[in-house]
Amino acid sequence: MPLFSIPKEVAVGTAMLGVAFATGVLAAKRYPLLGFGTHKPPRGFGKSSPLSQYILDHSLREHPILKKLRMLTADHPFGMMMVSCDQAQLMANLVKLIKAKKVLEIGVFTGYNALNMALVLPDNGRVVACDINEDYAKIGKPLWKEAGVEHKIDLRIKPAIQTLDELLANGEAETFDFAFIDADKESYNEYYEKCLRLVKKGGIIAIDNVLWNGRVLKPRKDDLAAQCIHHLNEKLLRDARINISTLPMGDGVTLAFKL
Ligand SMILES: C[S@@+](CC[C@H](N)C(=O)[O-])C[C@H]1O[C@@H](n2cnc3c(N)ncnc32)[C@H](O)[C@@H]1O
Ligand SMILES: *[C@@H]1O[C@H](CO)[C@@H](O)[C@H](O)[C@H]1NC(C)=O
């Protein structure tokens, strides 16, 4: 799936094609695998262009163990669910910029971004990492350890809504600095609302797949994920509790800055 004419190891992490289906299938087991595996040309914002390649070639500074995890995940049948490496790097830079200590990862998969954030957190920092599937995380765990940051990753295997409710019940509202929402799309609105309570003023919520491979333009009636994402995009635009920026990176990411 060479979206880039660069080494496979770089292309794979950035290629998000098929994420839409893979995520839907794994998250809710509701979506047909139609189209999955038949790799269409890249999405509209020129991912295969020489300039996109140039950007990666001249900006990606990937930790060797992150790269190792990306290569390992690329071999997984659902490897395309992994966050794109350039987007992960942006999130690490943001986490560092705001001097985050406590961050949330909703949808861990093999833990590329959990590791990515753990690497830039202080030693007493924490990633509360939510997923329903422990098998995926087992792939990444040995590398979290190898990187010496396993103690910063607090993996909670249960529906993320439940973990977020437990954090709120535990008095942890307004104690998180950063949250990354990247699990089942039907729950995005709930994840956002709960994250907004858990994150401090000045904290950031990053919401992934906000372009849903272009399907937000005209969400089909039978495409619940596209509808949920589109509704949230419309809501975020008018939400006075935050400021936002939406970036055409990966499958589209919205950064919400809590006011
Ligand atoms: C797109 S992947 C996450 C990719 C990850 N952020 C990374 O760094 O590569 C989505 C993940 O959400 C998980 N997921 C789906 N439904 C969930 C739920 N209700 N609660 C928690 N996790 C869920 C899936 O098991 C899958 O691992
Ligand atoms: C941030 O949000 C506030 C409140 O909605 C708004 O007045 C302001 O213009 C926004 N600033 C930016 C830079 O978007």
Convert the pLDDT of each residue in 140-158 to its tens digit: 999 999 999 999 999 999 9
3-class DSSP assignment, residue 180 = strand
Q: What is the mean pLDDT of the chain?
A: 86
Strand partners, 199: 176
Closest Cα to atom 9 of ligand 2: 243
| pLDDT tens figures, 200-227 | 999 999 999 999 999 999 999 999 999 9
Going from the Cα of 243 to the center of ligand 2, the distance in angstroms, rounded, reads 6
Reported in sequence order, the residue ranges of the chain that DSSP labels E, i.e. its strands, are: 102-106, 126-131, 153-157, 176-181, 199-208, 242-247, 253-258
| pLDDT tens figures, 69-101 | 999 999 999 999 999 999 999 999 999 999 999
Pairing of strands 242-247, 153-157: unpaired
**Section 179-197 average pLDDT:** 98
Q: State the amino acid at position 13 in one-letter form.
A: G
Which ligand lies nearest to the CA atom of residue 257 in the structure?
2
| pLDDT tens figures, 98-136 | 999 999 999 999 999 999 999 999 999 999 999 999 999
pLDDT value, residue 182 = 98
Q: How many helices (H) and strands (E) does the chain have?
A: 10, 7
Domain span at residue 168 reads 3-258
pLDDT value, residue 48 = 76
The alpha carbon dihedral of 194, 196, 200, 204 has a sign of positive
pLDDT value, residue 14 = 39
Ligand 2 pocket, residue 93 CB under 6 Å: no
Ligand 1 pocket, residue 26 CB under 6 Å: yes
Q: Which residue has the higher pLDDT, 166 or 7?
A: 166
pLDDT value, residue 178 = 99
How many folded domains does the chain comprise? 1
Going from the Cα of 225 to the center of ligand 1, the distance in angstroms, rounded, reads 14
| pLDDT tens figures, 228-254 | 999 999 999 999 999 999 999 999 999
Whether pLDDT at 46 is above 90: no
59-86 burial string, b = 16+ CB within 10 Å, else e?
ebebeebbbbbbebbbeeebbbbbbbbb
Ligand 1 pocket, residue 251 CB under 6 Å: no
Pairing of strands 199-208, 253-258: antiparallel
Q: Which of 73, 83, 108, 251 to mutate to test the pocket of ligand 1 (most atoms within 8 A of CB)?
A: 108
Ligand 2 pocket, residue 240 CB under 6 Å: yes
CATH for 211? 3.40.50.150
Which residues are within 8 A (CB) of 95 and not within 5 positions of it... i.e. 6 or more apart?
103, 117, 120, 121, 177, 178
Whether pLDDT at 44 is above 60: no
pTM over 0.95: no
